[in-house]
A = this chain, B = another copy of it.
Amino acid sequence: MKYSKQRELIKQTVLNSSHPTAEDVYLTLVEDNPQLSLGTVYRNLNTLCDKGVIKRVAIPNSKDYFDGILSEHQHLICDKCHNIFDLDVKAMDELADKIEKDQGIKVSSLQLFVKGVCHNCQKDID
């Protein structure tokens, strides 16, 4: 894989922002790099995911988000502000084991989508 300035910028943008979409990354970078192409952003986000440099957060009925945090964690989608927040749900491995035992199937991946109200928005309600 050859170095490219664009890929470097895209990587840094994901690492320095919270769950940006491809479009977020593009809009962030295009200001100082007016020649940047949205296709380049998509292509590099895919490459970076494939190489394990970043992770894709794929949410049902929504565009993809990207995440610079590689350790396993789950996500909260806030009902109010629609932002995405990291959740450290401890019980996932046990749950996978339980499902394997109870259902008699092999589990290769387990993903949890939590919808609710984030800390910030909860403050606004109180």
Q: Name A's B-contacting residues (CB within 8 A).
A: 58-61, 64, 76, 79, 87, 89-91, 95, 98-100, 102-119, 122
Contact = CB atoms under 8 A, between A and B. Distances in A.
Copies in the complex: 2
A121 to B, nearest CB: 9
A106 B87 contact: no
A81 B12 CA distance: 38
A87 to B, nearest CB: 6
A91 B95 contact: yes
The 5 tightest CB contacts between A and B, nearest first, are A58-B60, A107-B116, A109-B115, A111-B113, A106-B117
A99 to B, nearest CB: 6
Contacts of A64: 61
Contact of A115 (B61, B100, B107): B107
A116 B118 CA distance: 31
Contacts of A105: 76, 114, 116-119, 122
A94 to B, nearest CB: 9
Contacts of A122: 104-106
